[in-house]
Chains A and B, each alone.
Chain A
Amino acid sequence: MRLDRNTFLSIATMVIFGLVLWQAETFLGDYQIYIAKLIFINIILALSLNLIYGFTGLFSLGHAGFIAIGAYVSALCILPPAQKEIMWILEPIIWPFSDLLTPFWVSVLGGGLFAGVFAIFIAVPVLRLGDDYLGMATLAFAEIIRVLIVNATPITNGSLGIKGIPGHATLLVCYGWALFTLIVLARLCYSNFGNVLRCIRDNEIAASVMGINVFWNKVLSFCIGAFFAGIGGALLGSHLSTIDPKMFNFLLTFNVLMFVVAGGLGSLTGSILGATVITILLEWLRFLEEPMDLGFIEIPGIPGMRMVVFSVVLLVIILKRREGIMGTRELTWNRIFAFFRRLERREKA
Chain B
Amino acid sequence: MSFEMFLQHCFNALTLGSLYALIAIGYTMVYGILRLINFAHGDILMVGAYFIFFGTFAFGWPWAVAAVISVLAAGLLGVIIDRVAYKPLRDAPRISALISAIAVSFLIESLAVVIFTGQPRPVLQPEWLTNAWQIGNLRITHLAAFVPGMTIILVCILLYIVYRTKPGLAMRAISKDIETTRLLGVKVDNVIALTFGLGSALAAAAGIMWALRYPQVHPYMGVMPGLKAFIAAVFGGIGSIEGAVLGGVALGFVEIMTVAFMPELSGYRDAFAFILLVLVLLVKPTGLLGERMEEKI
Contact = CB atoms under 8 A, between A and B. Distances in A.
A280 interface: no
A136 B31 CA distance: 13
A308 B110 contact: yes
Name the 10 nearest CB pairs between A and B, nearest first. Answer: A304-B113, A307-B110, A140-B274, A311-B107, A147-B271, A314-B103, A311-B106, A315-B103, A304-B114, A151-B267
B281 A129 contact: yes
Interface string A305-319: 111101110110011
B297 interface: yes
B106 A254 contact: yes
Interface string B9-36: 0000000000000000000000000011
Nearest to A135: B98
A270 to B, nearest CB: 15
Given A143-B271, A303-B117, A304-B113, A136 B96 contact: no
A141 interface: yes
B278 interface: yes
Interface residues of A, number: 41
Given A132-B37, A141-B278, A307-B110, A148 B271 contact: yes
A106 interface: no
Contact of A305 (B92, B94, B100, B114): B114
Given A136-B277, A311-B103, 9 more contacts: A125-B278, A126-B282, A131-B94, A133-B234, A136-B234, A147-B268, A147-B270, A307-B109, A311-B104
A304 B275 contact: no
Contacts of A129: 281, 285
B102 interface: yes
Nearest to B274: A140
Contact of A318 (B35, B94, B96, B111): B96
Interface string B86-108: 00110010111011101110110
B113 A132 contact: no
Interface in A97-154: 125-126, 128-129, 131-133, 135-137, 139-141, 143-144, 147-148, 150-151
Interface string A18-36: 0000000000000000000
B124 interface: no
A223 interface: no
Interface string B159-200: 000000000000000000000000000000000000000000
A50 B270 CA distance: 29
B7 interface: no
Nearest to B93: A322
Nearest to A250: B223
Contacts of A302: 114
B263 interface: no
A55 interface: no
B50 interface: no
Contacts of B230: 136
A59 interface: yes
A250 B223 CA distance: 10
Contact of B95 (A131, A143, A254): A131
A110 B37 CA distance: 36
Contacts of B95: 59, 131-132
Contacts of A311: 103-104, 106-107, 110
A318 B285 CA distance: 29
Point out which of B99, B107, B285 has the most chain A C-beta atoms below 10 A from its C-beta. B99
A15 to B, nearest CB: 37
B149 interface: no
Interface string B255-288: 0000000000001101100110110011001000
A246 to B, nearest CB: 12
Nearest to A150: B267
Nearest to B107: A311
14 contacts: A125-B282, A126-B282, A129-B285, A132-B95, A140-B274, A141-B278, A143-B270, A144-B271, A144-B275, A151-B268, A257-B99, A303-B117, A307-B109, A310-B106
Contacts of A132: 35-37, 94-95, 98
A200 to B, nearest CB: 15
A308 B107 contact: yes
Q: Which of A151, A303, A304, A305 has the most chain B CB atoms closer than 10 A to its own CB?
A: A304
A251 B220 CA distance: 12
B5 interface: no
A132 B103 CA distance: 15
A271 B282 CA distance: 32
B96 to A, nearest CB: 5
Contacts of A318: 89, 96, 99-100, 103
B132 interface: no
Contacts of A144: 271, 274-275, 278
Nearest to B224: A143
A19 B103 CA distance: 39
Interface in B106-131: 106-107, 109-111, 113-114, 117-118
A133 B285 contact: yes
Interface in A76-100: none
For A148, A311, A318, A319, the residue with the greatest tally of chain B CB atoms inside 10 Å of its CB is A318
